[in-house]
Structure 1
Amino acid sequence: MIIVTGGAGFIGSNIVQGLNARGIDDILVVDDLSDGHKCLNLNDADIADYMDKDDFLARIRAGQDFGRVEAIFHEGACSSTTEWDGRFVMQVNYEYSKAVLDWCAPTRVPLIYASSASVYGMGPTFREAREFERPLNMYAYSKFQFDCHLRRHMHALEGQVAGLRYFNVYGPREQHKGSMASVAWHFYNQLETAGRVRLFEGSDGYGPGEQQRDFIHVDDVVAVNLWLFDNPQVSGIFNVGTGRAQSFNDVAHAAIGWHGAGGIDYIPFPDHLKGRYQSFTQADMGTLRAAGFEHRFTPVEEGVPRYLDWLKDRGL
């Protein structure tokens, strides 16, 4: 069996799809379906069972045997960067992740978990080292603390543990995320309703829409996860981006080109984001490449149209 926490969410459901594509369906999905819309991410997937996240936590803390578990992909978390209830975020993200690690460690079950590029704060260096980590919100802090927890215990762990610092992920099955969905999703909806997309005016020395992020298609994220699954000898904390920063204008032009018409409206930069907005991110991919990962990453010029085709085909 393979366990995917957050398996009804964005990245988790795509990992389930990636496993299904390999003919693997002995999958236990763990999630919180308080928002029942997330079930739509699994309506074309084949899984063995579903379990609520609180039930799963209680069972692993009790040391329950789930039979032979090949790996846990731990994607479940509170992913809202605007959530400031620190007790809640630390319980759901940090304490939960520690419990999963404590369950995996004695039996050497491989654990591949979601960290975040948000641990780097404002950057400008995005390399997996403590001196470059300055989280600016509770979500980022919770991810940062678990990475630190892993570093303190890595020497004693005999099974695989890999933390993946996702950069700006976009692609299928994110429609439930609302305001936290990718700009590609928002551009798709803006073009469908108004024929134009909205971007921030210049900030931090960047011109209108020229702020840059490392945008990575979720298919590439799945490829990294499955490569680690195939290579259980590889452990560590790894950036997961393309290694190339592209502007929001690049994403907008890719969406407009797919739509066949449209324009860009630049709106004032919000005061509440000043000093807390990543105007530039670019993953240093040296660590993952050195570990042996050779996959080609998808530029937005290819990834965005492919994603928007998927949305259109499903009437979303």
Structure 2
Amino acid sequence: MIVVTGGAGMIGSNIVAALNAAGRTDIVAVDDLTDGTKFRNLADLAISDYLDKDEFLALVERDAFDKIDVVFHQGACSATTEWNGKFMMEVNYAYSKKLLHFCLGRRVPFLYASSAAVYGGSAEFREEPEFERPLNVYGYSKKLFDDYVRARVFPTEHSPVVGLRYFNVYGPREAHKGAMASVAFHLFNQVERGEDPKLFGAYDGYGPGEQSRDFIHVGDVADVNLWLWRRGISGIFNCGTGRAQPFRTIAETVIASLGRGEIEYVDFPDHLKGRYQSFTQADMSRLRAAGYNGTFRDLETGTREYVEWLKAHPSS
């Protein structure tokens, strides 16, 4: 049996899809379906059971499960604009610690979602504490759990534990994320509504649309997760492409793919000033040194694929 928490979320459901493609359907998806629209992310996938996140944790605390092959812990509050620190720490930190210790006690491989948000105000993106400067409580919750793993787990003999610092993930099954969905998703929908795609104007030393991120397709993220699990590797790894590309590239690719639209630049919003990463680029040395030689889609290819997927799945 395989457990995927956040299984109805974007990354979790794509991990389920990758497991299905590999022939695995004995999957327990764990999530919170208070937002019932997320069911769409699982509707076309094969799982053996679904559990609410609170019910699942209660079963974990009672040690009620038989053999589990691996836990992909993707469940989290991922809203960088959420400032309820008590809620964030309960969901992202305390819950993760309980599940981690269950897996360590049962020697179950545990792969969890960290985030590039731990780097925040840093100009370097290497998996070292000196570069970790979160700008919001979400990034702090992820950094704190990484610190916990480094201090409490890695110095001891343990079953495989992996933290993946996701950079800017885009791709299928993210419609439920609303404002937190990727720029590619929002620009596609703007053009489909007959609007011009909108990007931020000049800010932080970058020209209009030139703020750059390391954008990684969610299919590549799922591939990295499965590869690390199958090799029993432990560590905290960046999960990006190693290439920063400007937001303008996404807009231009969406326009070219749909055959209409012209980029419109808007003033950078005051509420994001000082809390925004204008540039990210994952240092992928550690993952490559671990043996991962998979390729990553460039932004143009990934965006074109995603546009075609969105055209075929208009409600997703």
Q: TM-score range by the shorter chain?
A: over 0.9
- Residue 229 of structure 1 and its aligned partner are, at CA, apart by 1.5
Amino acid aligned to 2:147:
C
- Residue 107 of structure 1 and its aligned partner are, at CA, apart by 1.7
What are the equivalent positions in structure 2 for 1:205-220 lying under 5 Å apart? Answer: 205-220=205-220
What are the equivalent positions in structure 2 for 1:1-316 lying under 5 Å apart? Answer: 1-64=1-64, 66-153=65-152, 154-232=154-232, 234-316=233-315
Amino acid aligned to 1:127:
R
* Alpha-carbon distance in structure 2 between the residues aligned to 1:123 and 1:173: 30
Contact 1:199/1:265 (8 A) holds in 2: yes
| 1:87-113: CA deviation from partner (whole Å, max 9, x where unpaired) | 110000000000011100022100000
* Alpha-carbon distance in structure 2 between the residues aligned to 1:94 and 1:125: 25
Unaligned runs of 5+ in 1: none
Amino acid aligned to 1:213:
R
* Alpha-carbon distance in structure 1 between the residues aligned to 2:267 and 2:313: 33
| 1:51-72: CA deviation from partner (whole Å, max 9, x where unpaired) | 00001111212222x1111000
* Alpha-carbon distance in structure 2 between the residues aligned to 1:300 and 1:191: 18
* Alpha-carbon distance in structure 1 between the residues aligned to 2:302 and 2:157: 37
* Structure 1: 4+ residue segments shifted above 2 A: none
- Residue 115 of structure 1 and its aligned partner are, at CA, apart by 0.2
Local SS of the residue matching 1:244: coil
Contact 1:7/1:31 (8 A) holds in 2: yes
* Alpha-carbon distance in structure 2 between the residues aligned to 1:60 and 1:15: 21
- Residue 5 of structure 1 and its aligned partner are, at CA, apart by 0.2
* Alpha-carbon distance in structure 1 between the residues aligned to 2:157 and 2:214: 31
Unaligned runs of 5+ in 2: none
* Alpha-carbon distance in structure 2 between the residues aligned to 1:191 and 1:76: 31
Amino acid aligned to 1:126:
F
Contact 1:71/1:110 (8 A) holds in 2: yes
In the alignment of these two chains, the number of paired residues is 314
Contact 1:13/1:42 (8 A) holds in 2: yes
Local SS of the residue matching 1:237: strand
* Alpha-carbon distance in structure 1 between the residues aligned to 2:141 and 2:224: 22
* Alpha-carbon distance in structure 2 between the residues aligned to 1:176 and 1:151: 33
- Residue 157 of structure 1 and its aligned partner are, at CA, apart by 4.1
* Alpha-carbon distance in structure 2 between the residues aligned to 1:296 and 1:219: 11
Identity of aligned residues (%): 59
* Alpha-carbon distance in structure 2 between the residues aligned to 1:138 and 1:157: 31
* Alpha-carbon distance in structure 1 between the residues aligned to 2:311 and 2:224: 27
- Residue 275 of structure 1 and its aligned partner are, at CA, apart by 1.2
RMSD (CA atoms): 0.8
Contact 1:195/1:261 (8 A) holds in 2: no
Contact 1:123/1:281 (8 A) holds in 2: no
Amino acid aligned to 2:160:
Q
Amino acid aligned to 1:192:
E
Local SS of the residue matching 1:118: helix
* Alpha-carbon distance in structure 1 between the residues aligned to 2:59 and 2:98: 10
Q: Which moved further from structure 2: 251-260 or 152-161? A: 152-161
Local SS of the residue matching 1:196: coil
Local SS of the residue matching 1:164: strand
Amino acid aligned to 2:120:
G
Local SS of the residue matching 1:42: helix
Contact 1:6/1:76 (8 A) holds in 2: yes
* Alpha-carbon distance in structure 1 between the residues aligned to 2:240 and 2:150: 21
- Residue 269 of structure 1 and its aligned partner are, at CA, apart by 0.6
